Each structure stands twice: as structure tokens, then as C-alpha cells.
Amino acid sequence: MKTLATSLVALAASVSVASAQTIAIQNARVYTMAGADAGRLDNGDVIIRDGVIAAIGQDLPAPEGATVINAQGRIVTPGLIAPWSQIGLVEIGLDEEANDASTKNDFPVSAGLDAVDAFNPASTLIAINRAGGVTRAVSSPSFGAKMFGGQGAIVDLSGRANSITRAQAVQSVAMGAAGIGYNGGTRLGNWAALREALDDAKAYAANPGGFVMRPRNGGLSIADLKALGAVAQGRQPLVVALDSATDIRALMKLKAQYAINVIILGGSQAHLVAEEIAAANIPVLLDPIFNLPSQFEDLTSTLANAARLQAAGVTIAFASSYAGTYNLRLLPQTAGNAVANGLPYDAALAALTINPARIFGVADRLGSLEIGKTADVVIWDGDPLEVSTRPVAVLIDGRVTSLKNRQTMLRDRYKDLSKGDLPLAYRGAQ
């Protein structure tokens, strides 16, 4: 049996974008995320063929011609899914030319913005976060000149030109303190504006020609109304940025009134109304390490937020402001903090994998290791929720991806400080 390092080097060298390959990962502690205890399978094997999971179990023989990877008892999980980011839209936040995350000034289109138009699969941030085990992410415009952010996409972090898993997967809107400046400077104005937007989107979808002939004094652009039609008809989820229990209850009423699919982003006070959120079947994308109030509506924030929501039956996923777009790879560390504050270990893994897949409607393909699902797989060198743990292999669509990135290249360039024929900055540059 080859060593793990030897197998991965040979496999990575042999796999091309156009080719599919049969791979057998053997002797692993596999968390399939299907079933109790996170679907834990000791001494488990995973067979991958044509980019999907072909078999999973114990003592499975490697198919003829398969590349065998001996995991040597290491932990294997599905690829991590970051449920909220601007990955591929922003490279340097303070450089306008390198930041397509939102519009500037009073640009007339908001909900009609589409992340696919600017998504850059060659962003250096993609390789860095892929090396941390993140294989898929929601890439969405952030809130800019108006309350709606725009349409986000589910993307893979392979770096390939065609990295879009699902275009126009989600819409977003800023409410609560995050959106208080958009419509009259109060929550009253924001909720009224959101209801008006949904009413107009429904009216436009029912009769576009008649709607454009109506006298209009301001309001959203036609491009925005077209985009919001999918939200108003319940076909596209609406991520709503808010924190207070008051706003959460207002969102519940809105969901019931309009029969729309909503997702909470933030929810620092969600633990106060956890049972109500569960009853309303609203998932929450939360920061598990947020407990320092930065505004009035955060006064009851707690590190136990994730544990209390999960105990009440709320579907949670982790979208940490600490990790952010630049460091999505730190999401497992924030999950570890949630475990330290009462969240069960298997629930923390679920919040990184199968839960975001369920929330965004792609659990039939992603988020767990089950026969027939896409083979997004990570082999870890330790417990994935520990600070010092790193992936030793990341597979996306059944292909071994490179863990090389700008940070590893800088490390390798400068780790040898001895004098040489070339200055340090030029070593390895040829």
C-alpha cells in the first residue's frame, strides 16, 4: 500500500479537468453526515467513480485500476460549505477595481444584481480557502446602495472556469440595524418597503406589460422586480440580515403573509425566540463566536446561541464575521468554539456540511457522503474542529485539487534564509 503522501502526489499529477478517475479511500474514520452520530464509520472506505460516491462501507475491495489512498485512520468528511460570502467577488476590499461585492453610490439596480456576472474563479482567495477544506460556497453581493443585495450563486472552489453550481440561488436584503438607513431611517420604513417590493414583484410577474404602463413614482427598477419575482413566488430563498427578536418575529409574520422562503443571517438574539423560529421552519446562518454587542439589538448575544437554537430544532449553519470571505477556512475553528459552548459535535459538523446544503436546496447532491452524491471529500490530519488541523487532501467533484496557494508559495520562498546566488525574493520564481 502506498503512503498517503505518495498516493496523493501521484493522483494529483494524473487527474485532469476533463478526466474522471476511480479512487478508493481506505482505512479512514468517515463522517458521512447521514444518520446518527454524524454517520460515523470507523475503519471506513469510500469508493469514488466518475466524480460521485460509488460505494461506502467497511472492508470494501478497491475496484480494478483504482487509485488507492490509505487514509491511515485519518478523519474523512464531506467538503465544507460556506453559506454566506463574497468569494470570487472581492479580492482587496479597499481597492474599488478589485472589489465587485456591492454597488457604489445610488446605483438604480439592487435586487437585479447577479454574482455570476463578476465571479472570478481564479481569485487567490479561492485557493487559500480550498486548502482549508471549503469546497463550495454561496457567493453573494453584499448590501450596497439599497436594501437588497442581489442574487447570489452557489459556487465550487475548484478554480475551474466553470465553477457555478447553481446560479441565482439566493436573494438578500438588509433589515434591522444593518438596513436601518435605507428607508426613512427606521425599521418601520424598511418593513413597509419590503412588503411593497414583494407586492410589486408579484404584480409585475402577473402582468409585466400592464405593470410598466402604470404611473409610478419611484420604487424599484424593472430589473429588480424581475429578479424579485422568484422570491415573491417562493421559488428563491431570501436571506434576511437581522438580529433582534423583534425583527425575527416581524420576519415570521412576513413569511406567513407572503408564503416566501426566508433565511436569517445573523440572529444574535435568535436564542430568545428559538422555539418560535423552529416552529416557523426558518434556518439561521449565525456567527458562533459572536458575543460582544456592537449595537443595541446585540445586547443579549451569547456564545450559547448555536447550542440553544440547535436544541430547539432550528437548522443552523455557520457564517462567521470573524472568518469572513478572506478566511472561510476558519469556519471549523468557530464550530469548535460552538462545541465548547454546548453544541454537540455532530451538530457542529452538520452546520458545516449537510445543513447549508439543505438550507439552499442542494442536499440531494452535496453535504454528505452517500452513494450517488457528488464526491466533495476532505481528508484531515486531525480533528477538523481543532485549530492546528489541516486538510491533507481536498477532492471536488471527485478530483484531487491542489493545496498550493499564495500563502504556501510565500512560505516556501522564504523558509530558507541562507545566502544564495539569487536574492530571496527571486528564488523559485523561474
Q: What is the pLDDT of residue 3?
A: 56
Q: Which of 313, 337, 366 corresponds to the end of one domain?
A: 366
The mean pLDDT of 267-279, rounded to a whole number, is 98
Share of the chain above pLDDT 90, in %: 77
Chain centroid, CA 261 distance in Å? 18
Q: What is the pLDDT of residue 428?
A: 58
Both 201 and 64 in a single domain?
no
* Terminal-to-terminal C-alpha distance of the chain: 35
Both 14 and 161 in a single domain?
no
Q: How far apart are CA 190 and CA 197, in angstroms?
A: 10
Q: What is the pLDDT of residue 15?
A: 44
Q: What is the pLDDT of residue 290?
A: 93
Quick one: pLDDT band at residue 16, thresholds 50, 70, 90?
Answer: very low
Quick one: pLDDT band at residue 269, thresholds 50, 70, 90?
Answer: very high
Residue 429: inside a domain: no
- What is the bridge-based pairing of β-strands 52-58 and 40-49? antiparallel
The mean pLDDT of 48-71, rounded to a whole number, is 96
Both 284 and 304 in a single domain?
yes
Residue 420: inside a domain: no
Q: Which of 337, 366, 395 corresponds to the end of one domain?
A: 366
Both 141 and 121 in a single domain?
yes
How much is the mean pLDDT over the chain? 91
Both 64 and 196 in a single domain?
no
Chain centroid, CA 4 distance in Å? 28
CB distance 288 to 303 below 8 Å: yes
Share of the chain above pLDDT 70, in %: 94
Residue 31: inside a domain: yes
Both 194 and 331 in a single domain?
yes
Least confident of 17-21, 139-143, 300-304, 317-321: 17-21
Q: What is the pLDDT of residue 17?
A: 40
Both 58 and 175 in a single domain?
no
Both 167 and 298 in a single domain?
yes
Range of the domain at 65: 4-78+380-409
Quick one: pLDDT band at residue 163, thresholds 50, 70, 90?
Answer: very high
- pLDDT tens string 129-162: 999 999 999 999 998 888 999 999 999 999 999 9
Count the Cβ atoms, other than its own, within 10 Å of residue 100.
19
The answer for residues whose C-beta is within 8 angstroms of residue 377's C-beta and 6 or more apart is: 25, 46, 48, 76, 77, 78, 79, 369, 393, 394, 395
Length of the chain equals 430
150-159 as b/e: b if 16+ CB within 10 A: bbbbbbbbbb
Which residues partner with 241 through β-bridges? 174, 265
Residue 236 main-chain phi, psi, to 5 deg: -130, 130
| Helix or strand holding residue 11 (H, E) | helix 4-14
Quick one: pLDDT band at residue 18, thresholds 50, 70, 90?
Answer: very low
Q: What is the pLDDT of residue 10?
A: 52
Both 153 and 280 in a single domain?
yes
Residue 178: inside a domain: yes
- 93: cell is 476590499
Q: Which of 366, 390, 425 corresponds to the end of one domain?
A: 366
- pLDDT tens string 190-215: 999 999 999 999 999 999 999 888 88
**Which CATH number belongs to the domain containing residue 310 in this structure?**
3.20.20.140
**Which CATH number belongs to the domain containing residue 51 in this structure?**
2.30.40.10
Residue 417: inside a domain: no
Residue with cell 487514509: 71
Q: What is the pLDDT of residue 394?
A: 97
Q: How far apart are CA 368 and CA 33, in angstroms?
A: 5
Output the CA angle 302-314-180, nearest 5 degrees. 60
Both 71 and 84 in a single domain?
no
Whether residue 5 has pLDDT greater than 70: no
What is the C-alpha radius of gyration for the chain, rounded to an integer number of angstroms? 23
- pLDDT tens string 63-79: 999 999 999 999 999 99
Quick one: pLDDT band at residue 331, thresholds 50, 70, 90?
Answer: very high
Quick one: pLDDT band at residue 180, thresholds 50, 70, 90?
Answer: confident
The count of domains in the chain is: 2
The mean pLDDT of 101-106, rounded to a whole number, is 82
Residue 132: inside a domain: yes
Dihedral sign from CA coordinates of 342, 345, 347, 351? positive
Both 74 and 84 in a single domain?
no
pTM above 0.85, yes or no: yes
Q: What is the pLDDT of residue 414?
A: 81
Whether residue 52 has pLDDT greater than 60: yes
Q: What is the pLDDT of residue 104?
A: 79
Q: What is the pLDDT of residue 419?
A: 75
Q: What is the pLDDT of residue 178?
A: 86
- What are the strands, taking DSSP E only, across 148-250? 152-156, 164-174, 238-242
State the SS3 of 377-418. Answer: EEEECCCCCCCCCCEEEEEECCEECCCCCHHHHHHHHHCCCC
Whether residue 166 has pLDDT greater than 60: yes
Both 84 and 69 in a single domain?
no
402 or 6, which is more confident?
402
* DSSP code string of 324-378: TTTTGGGHHHHHHHHHHTT--HHHHHHHHTHHHHHHTT-TTTSSS--TTSB--EE
